[in-house]
């Protein structure tokens, strides 16, 4: 029996477009002689639909389009992901389900493990499955699982570790029924420090239960979340015998009768920084495509963050869709302007220079009575950043260019940024990328030729909001800062544990305190493209009013 793996990019709530894409791939699979084509989790509506699931008309649309897809399943079977109504009078209203459709017949398998941690909220919407039934199709006994169903052995995080996050095991239940293989439909987002986990989970499940696994993941970005695809087929020894592309739609066919005879091919080698780069490019491109945006702007400072953001935007959107502003003040150095101009020219991006000195003076004059006798400080520094924000938003309002936020994760963590100033933007491209990785991205971007001027990469980072300001005046060196931050944010270690890695206790406490004190700022941050296992935003929910 031949099975097609359809790894596709869906648009949330765009039933018509998703259905058209699904039907086109059903036809493609038919033409290729496949018996069954498999789509990813909640493919009919895109993952994650969030609170749209609470709207009754959203569910009735789902049902309508399932019928349309069923009509296309003649001479071929399909498995699609969809929310289905819980017909019991008790429990949550919906199940997260896989719907197997074959010549008018349906087999529905519900999801058992509902991830409710980090960016996942599935128990908000869905009831847990408790029934495990395999089914027969063309002489094959098939068990369907959905994403997290394979993850019961995965302990979460490193603190109070458990052997299992869940108290039941779908794989155990299924293995007793001796299926010929397991299908897993997934919507598993990318994170650079966890993607090997995902493969290991699949390998372990195949080996432990001695069952081949056909894994179909979603690809494409949905606001913050970047789904990287990487669908694959594993034989019963856990060897990857078929693998689909990362960060792109893909379609491949496997003959299930031959799985155990195929050679191991593994997944393509892919350097960490290249993966991060490609995730950001896809994240930015899909945000624009799915929001129906075309053109972008940003403020080019001559520094590394705006340079890397622009290079990524150029790859994602095309240089012809970018129009950037250089907004120097009296504290901007000549080299900053030169570096910014060089970058815009290297990329061939349209730019304008607007000096903000007169605007800043107008603000200072208006406030002179109120601020009389007080030394200039943060208030005056922020006026510059906010004046830039106003100009960039005026350009955005006038021409429809979406403002890209250029803050990095290190800055966002310690609040080294101005709310309503450089924190502005429709999307934060680097908000989950630590500064040390921003430097690595710059080198990666320059791998074939100098795009980002060398001076931008090598000069000491500065916000240039007062004379001779350097980031290092207020912050520890970025290697140190980022290591402390990663241990606190991603690994959730305590101050004492972090200090035991070889840092001064005072520095650790000061850093953690900066992170905590700036929850209020991040609360108003744009959505941040998530590339790590713990990004700021939706997946990290810290109280504002707390004793930190």
Pick the closer one to a second copy by CB: 133 or 397.
397
Query: For residue 403, what are the CA distances in angstroms to 123, 313, 390, 519?
Result: 35, 11, 11, 23
Nearest approach, Cβ of residue 502 and a second copy (Å): 19
Give the contacts of 45 (CB within 8 A, at least 6 positions apart): 10, 12, 13, 15, 18, 52, 58, 62, 82, 83
Residue 47 or 251 with smaller CB distance to a second copy:
47
Given 31, 67, 75, 89, the residue binding a second copy (CB under 8 A): 89
Nearest to a second copy of 112, 456 (CB atom) = 112
Minimum gap (Å) between residue 242 Cβ and a second copy: 30
In terms of Cα–Cα distance, which of 307, 279, 288, 299 is closest to 530? 279
Name which position in 379, 443, 470, 504 contacts a second copy (CB under 8 A). Answer: 379
Q: Should residue 544 be labelled a site residue for a second copy when binding is judged by CB under 8 A?
A: yes
Active-site residue identified among 41, 122, 148, 381:
41
Question: Residues 403, 424: contact at Cβ < 8 Å?
Answer: yes
By CB under 8 A, tell whether 426 contacts a second copy. Answer: yes
Q: Which is nearer to a second copy, 160 or 460 (CB)?
A: 160
Q: What is the smallest separation between the CB atom of 244 and a second copy, expressed in angstroms?
A: 23
> Is position 55 an interface residue for a second copy (rule: CB under 8 A)?
yes
Gap between the Cα atoms of 345 and 431, Å rounded: 26
Active-site residue, from 2, 21, 127, 147: 147
The answer to the question of residue 525 lying near a second copy (CB under 8 A) is yes
Which tokens in the block code for residue 70? 């069923």
Pick from 492, 500, 501, 505 the residue near a second copy by CB under 8 A.
492
Q: Is 300 an interacting residue with respect to a second copy (CB under 8 A)?
A: no
> Catalytic pick from 2, 21, 111, 242?
111
- Contact between 24 and a second copy by CB under 8 A: the answer reads no
Residues 432 and 408 sit within 8 Å (Cβ to Cβ)? no
Q: Residue 292 or 458: which CB sits closer to a second copy? A: 292
Contact of 106 with 99, CB cutoff 8 Å: yes
**Cβ neighbours around 172 below 10 Å, total:** 12
Binding footprint of a second copy, residue count (CB under 8 A) = 104
Q: Which of 358, 448, 458, 502 binds a second copy (CB under 8 A)?
A: 358
Helix (H, G, I), strand (E, B) or coil at 513: helix
Comparison of 447 and 548: residue with beta carbon closer to a second copy: 548
Q: Is 546 in the site for a second copy (CB under 8 A)?
A: yes
Tell me the angle at which helices 435-445 and 304-317 cross, rounded to the nearest 10 degrees: 50
Per CB under 8 A, the list member of 67, 261, 372, 398 interacting with a second copy is 398
Among 31, 67, 75, 90, binds a second copy (CB under 8 A): 90
* Piece of 55-63, 102-110, 210-218, 465-473 that binds a second copy (CB under 8 A): 55-63
Spatial distance between the Cα atoms of 228 and 280, rounded to a whole number of angstroms: 11
**Residues 186-245 interacting with a second copy (rule: CB under 8 A):** 221-223
- On whether the CB atoms of residues 525 and 537 are closer than 8 A, the answer is yes
Which one among 345, 454, 470, 496 touches a second copy, defined by CB under 8 A?
496
With a CB cutoff of 8 Å and minimum separation 6, the contacts of 517 are 415, 548
Measure the CA angle with vertex 51, ends 46 and 57; round to 5°: 80
SS3 call for 25? helix
Determine if 52 is a binding residue for a second copy (CB under 8 A): yes
Q: Which of 74, 210, 397, 455 binds a second copy (CB under 8 A)?
A: 397
> Of the two residues 24 and 542, which places its CB atom closer to a second copy in the complex?
542
Q: Count Cβ atoms below 10 Å from residue 164 Cβ, excluding itself.
A: 12
> CA 20: distance to chain centroid?
25
Stretch that binds a second copy, among 22-30, 296-304, 364-372, 473-481 (CB under 8 A): 364-372
Range 272-307 burial, b when 16+ CB lie within 10 A, else e:
ebebbbbbbbbbbbbbbbbeebebbbbbbbbbbbbb
337 binds a second copy (CB under 8 A): no
Using only C-alpha atoms, what is the Rg of the chain?
A: 26
166 binds a second copy (CB under 8 A): yes
Q: DSSP letters along 415-474, please?
A: T-S-TTTTT--SEESSTTS-HHHHHHHHHHHTSSS--S-HHHHHSPP---SSTT--HHHH
Q: Is the dihedral of CA 291, 294, 299, 302 positive or negative?
A: positive
41 assigned to active site = yes
Residue 240 CB, nearest distance to a second copy (Å)?
29
Residue 64 engages a second copy in binding (rule: CB under 8 A): no
Does position 68 interact with a second copy (CB under 8 A)? The reply is: no
Single out the residue of 23, 123, 137, 295 in contact with a second copy (rule: CB under 8 A): 123
121 binds a second copy (CB under 8 A): yes
Q: How far is the CB of 239 from a second copy (least distance, A)?
A: 29
Torsions phi, psi for 225 (to 5 deg): -90, 130
Region from 35-43, 206-214, 273-281, 356-364 binding a second copy, contact rule CB under 8 A = 356-364
Q: Which residues are catalytic?
A: 41, 111, 147
């Amino acid at each position: 029996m031949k099975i097609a793996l359809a790894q596709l990019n869906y648009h949330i709530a765009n039933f018509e477009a998703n259905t058209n894409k699904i039907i086109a791939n059903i036809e493609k699979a038919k033409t290729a002689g496949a018996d069954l084509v498999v789509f990813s989790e909640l493919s009919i509506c895109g993952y994650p639909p969030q609170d749209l699931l609470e709207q009754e008309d959203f569910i009735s649309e789902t049902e309508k389009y399932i019928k349309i897809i069923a009509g296309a399943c003649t001479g071929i079977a399909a498995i699609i992901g969809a929310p289905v109504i819980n017909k019991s009078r008790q429990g949550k209203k919906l199940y997260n389900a896989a719907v197997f459709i074959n010549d008018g017949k349906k087999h529905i398998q519900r999801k058992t493990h509902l991830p409710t941690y980090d960016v996942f909220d599935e128990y908000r919407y869905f009831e847990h499955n408790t029934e495990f039934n395999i089914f027969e199709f063309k002489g094959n006994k098939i068990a369907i699982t959905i994403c997290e169903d394979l993850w019961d052995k995965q302990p979460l995080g490193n603190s109070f570790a458990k052997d299992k996050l869940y108290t039941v095991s779908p794989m155990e239940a299924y293995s007793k029924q001796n299926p010929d293989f397991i299908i897993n439909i997934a919507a598993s987002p990318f994170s650079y420090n966890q993607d090997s986990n995902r493969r290991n989970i699949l390998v372990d499940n195949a080996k432990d239960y001695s069952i081949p696994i056909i894994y179909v993941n979603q690809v494409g970005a949905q606001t913050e979340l970047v789904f990287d695809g990487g669908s694959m087929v594993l034989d019963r020894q856990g060897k990857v015998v078929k693998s689909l592309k990362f960060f792109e739609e893909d379609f491949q066919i496997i003959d299930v009768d031959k799985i155990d005879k195929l050679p191991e091919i593994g997944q393509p080698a892919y350097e960490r920084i290249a993966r991060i780069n490609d995730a950001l490019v896809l994240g930015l491109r899909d945000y624009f495509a799915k929001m129906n945006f075309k053109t972008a702007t940003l403020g080019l400072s001559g520094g590394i963050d705006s340079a890397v953001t622009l290079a990524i935007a150029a790859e994602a959107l095309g240089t012809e869709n970018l129009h950037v502003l250089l907004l120097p003040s009296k504290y901007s150095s000549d080299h900053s302007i030169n570096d910014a101009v060089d970058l815009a020219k290297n990329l061939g991006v349209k730019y304008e220079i607007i000096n903000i000195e007169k605007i800043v003076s107008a603000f200072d004059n208006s406030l002179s009575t109120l601020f009389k006798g007080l030394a200039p400080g943060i208030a005056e520094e922020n006026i510059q950043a906010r004046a830039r924000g106003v100009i960039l938003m005026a350009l955005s309002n006038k021409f429809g260019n979406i403002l890209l936020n250029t803050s990095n994760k290190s800055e966002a963590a310690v609040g080294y940024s101005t709310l309503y100033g450089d924190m502005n933007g429709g999307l934060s491209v680097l908000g989950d990328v630590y500064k040390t990785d921003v430097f690595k991205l710059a080198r990666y971007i320059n791998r074939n030729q100098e795009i980002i001027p060398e001076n931008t990469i090598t000069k000491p980072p500065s916000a240039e909001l007062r004379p001779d300001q350097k980031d290092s005046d207020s912050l520890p060196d970025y290697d140190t800062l980022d290591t402390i931050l990663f241990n606190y944010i991603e690994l959730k270690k305590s101050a004492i544990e972090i200090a035991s890695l070889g840092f001064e206790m005072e520095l650790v406490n000061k850093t953690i305190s900066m992170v905590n004190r700036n929850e209020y700022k991040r609360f108003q941050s744009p959505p941040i493209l998530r590339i790590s296992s713990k990004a700021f935003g939706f997946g990290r929910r810290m109280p504002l009013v707390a004793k930190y």
